[in-house]
A and B are shown apart, each in its own frame.
Chain A
Amino acid sequence: MLLEQGTTLRALEPCARHSLRAPLRSCLLQDEQFADLADMSLSGDITVEGEITVPVGAPSPDEDFSTLDEPVRETIMRDLKAVGKKFVHVMYPKKSSTLLRDWDLWGPLVLCVSLALMLQGGSADSKEDGGPQFAEVFVIIWFGAVVITLNSKLLGGTISFFQSLCVLGYCVLPLTVAMLVCRLVLLAGAGTISFVVRLLVVLAMFAWSTLASTAFLADSQPPNRKALVVYPIFLFYFVISWMILTFTPQ
């Protein structure tokens, strides 16, 4: 686009803060619909006056200041809705990058606590109250998730640390459901049939967990590294499934 006296104006930055008084044709260079306009050269003289302020880097803090002043109830509701949306997304996994952008670790915490509670020894004696096993489940889940995340970062993944923890934690949901089903089945009896039922349920949920987390995480890797990233996830959920399957109440 040519202006008077042969100056060429190139607008490469988003035009959120232009204080240019001239027509905003420079902004429209960004928009593909108006790509044709950008090629037009103007026959007449157009005088352009004013300043261009071009923002560099992060989005302007003005629009984010609203979160500094919002009421508390709104903050709570916003976070709760985000957690709920993620739970739904795990049950119906679709590749969605917007989901990953607002990570939070509340879901993994709740799932971890409920899984650990259900995996407890269940003995009435207060001395042997399953303390070490409870902390063990916590350590396995969180340490395992951290190790997988480090592995994927070291392999050059683009996903951030907490996003990966978030996904891995949320994808424990199917296995938590499997644990619930197993406990209910075990109430009915501990014979061969119940074992077969439990095995099938755990296998199905393990496959679901692994597929759900792979759907989110494998995309962030270069194609020849996908298997290297998927197999630790496989192992992680395998260990959890093993703990669920071999659980027998005292």
Chain B
Amino acid sequence: RHPLATFFHLFFRGSAIVTYLFCDWFSNSFVACFVTILLLLSFDFWSVKNVTGRLLVGLRWRNQIDEDGKSHWVFEAKEVSTVAASSEVEAQIFWLGLIICPVIWTVFFFSTLFSLKLKWLALVIAGISLQTANLYGYIHCKLGGQKSISRTTSFV
């Protein structure tokens, strides 16, 4: 039902990983690769958080600040009574993409650390944090746990 959203969900994440792996083929410049991957990761974060989550699985998480200045993390889930077959596939693609990519970036983290190519470390850490944030947010939505917000999120 939402082929464009599914495509973009995987496109930004996939191309960030592919660019990271093959950046030496595309360009000699570290800066160009760094900026490209960072922009891809940011677009991916925004699109997964704001668009593909609500279109593919009907979940949304966000941060809301009320008048007192206190921040609330709001986790929304759409009431879906019937799940059509096509949206089952889309939901599976969504969750697979959401889970596999942070794992891949964690693998990159260790490979960068142990091969001592430390200038990439900042980028890998950024990638891990952005993608893990989305993963964590959506898992929270799925489990419907507004009461079980852990200590870190209430500090934040």
The chain A residue with its CB closest to the CB of B58 is A68
Instruction: Pick the residue among A68, A132, A160 that contacts B76 (CB under 8 A).
Output: A68
Chain B: minimal CB distance from A125 (Å): 10
B34 touches A160 (CB 8 A): no
The chain B residue with its CB closest to the CB of A114 is B35
**Known pairs A113-B38, A138-B122; A64 contacts B76 (CB<8 A):** yes
- The interface bits of chain B over 102-132 (1 if a CB of A lies within 8 angstroms of the residue's CB, else 0) are 0000000000000000010011000000000
Task: List, in ascending order, chain B residues with CB within 8 A of A58's CB.
Answer: 72, 74
Cβ of A15 < 8 Å from any Cβ of B? no
Cβ of B69 < 8 Å from any Cβ of A? yes
CB within 8 Å of A: which B19-37 residues = 28-31, 34-35
Cβ of B71 < 8 Å from any Cβ of A? yes
Task: List, in ascending order, chain B residues with CB within 8 A of A117's CB.
Answer: 31, 35
Task: List, in ascending order, chain B residues with CB within 8 A of A102's CB.
Answer: 65
CA distance A65 to B80 in the complex (A): 13
A134 touches B60 (CB 8 A): no
B42 touches A162 (CB 8 A): no
Chain B residues bordering chain A, tally (CB within 8 A):
31
A139 touches B122 (CB 8 A): yes
CA distance A75 to B55 in the complex (A): 13
A158 touches B31 (CB 8 A): no
Task: List, in ascending order, chain B residues with CB within 8 A of A139's CB.
Answer: 122
Cβ of A72 < 8 Å from any Cβ of B? yes
**Known pairs A64-B74, A160-B65, A162-B71; A135 contacts B155 (CB<8 A):** no
Instruction: Pick the residue among A61, A64, A68, A161 that contacts B156 (CB under 8 A).
Output: A161
SS class, residues of chain A in contact with chain B: helix
Chain B: minimal CB distance from A121 (Å): 10
Cβ of A101 < 8 Å from any Cβ of B? yes
Cβ of A120 < 8 Å from any Cβ of B? yes
Instruction: Pick the residue among A65, A113, A129, A162 that contacts B30 (CB under 8 A).
Output: A129
B31 touches A100 (CB 8 A): no
CA distance A102 to B71 in the complex (A): 11
B residues adjacent to A (C-beta < 8 A) = 28-31, 34-35, 38-39, 42, 46, 50-51, 54, 58, 60, 63, 65, 67-72, 74, 76, 78, 119, 122-123, 155-156
A residues adjacent to B (C-beta < 8 A) = 58, 61, 64-65, 67-69, 72, 75, 79, 97, 100-103, 106, 109, 113, 117, 120, 126, 129-132, 134-135, 138-139, 153, 158-163, 220
